[in-house]
Amino acid sequence: MKTKLKAGVILLALAALCFTSGCTSTAGGVYRLKQTRDDVDWAMTRYQNRSAFGFVTVEFRQQVSTAYKAYQTAFNEAVKQAHSNYNAPTPDNVKLLADQLLNTLGSIP
């Protein structure tokens, strides 16, 4: 039982570390478009929930909106270039914009 608990704690710690460090590192070194989309979608859902309950200032919403628009434009272009293959590697510019957005979203109080 203790082994399962330790494994769960380690997995949770690694997941938290991966989220706070952005989306540029994965096992095997290749980050896929699907992974990028999932990371951003999860963080945006958290942000939208916090925003709906009034925990987000107008200035912060504007900052997130600008970062999200830049990310979304680059992500959509990458998906188009990959012929809608979400298993294609995430281009560096999309990783950079996703990391900037995730860092912004990670600063939500």
Give first-to-last CA distance, the chain, whole Å.
35
Q: How far is CA 61 from the centre of its chain?
A: 17
What is the average per-residue pLDDT within 30-39?
96
What is the average per-residue pLDDT within 12-25?
44
As a whole-number percent, the residues of the chain with pLDDT over 70 amount to 73
Residue 25, token pair as written in the block: 């590192």
The pLDDT tens digits for 88-104 are: 999 999 999 999 999 99
Domain of 54 in residue numbering reads as 2-106
Q: How many domains does the chain have?
A: 1
For residue 108, pLDDT over 90 is answered with no
- Distance (Å, rounded) from C-alpha 8 to C-alpha 12? 6
Average pLDDT, the chain: 82
For residue 10, pLDDT over 60 is answered with no
Per DSSP, the three-state class of 42 is helix
Which single residue is written with the structure tokens 């290749």? 30
More confident residue, 7 or 26: 26
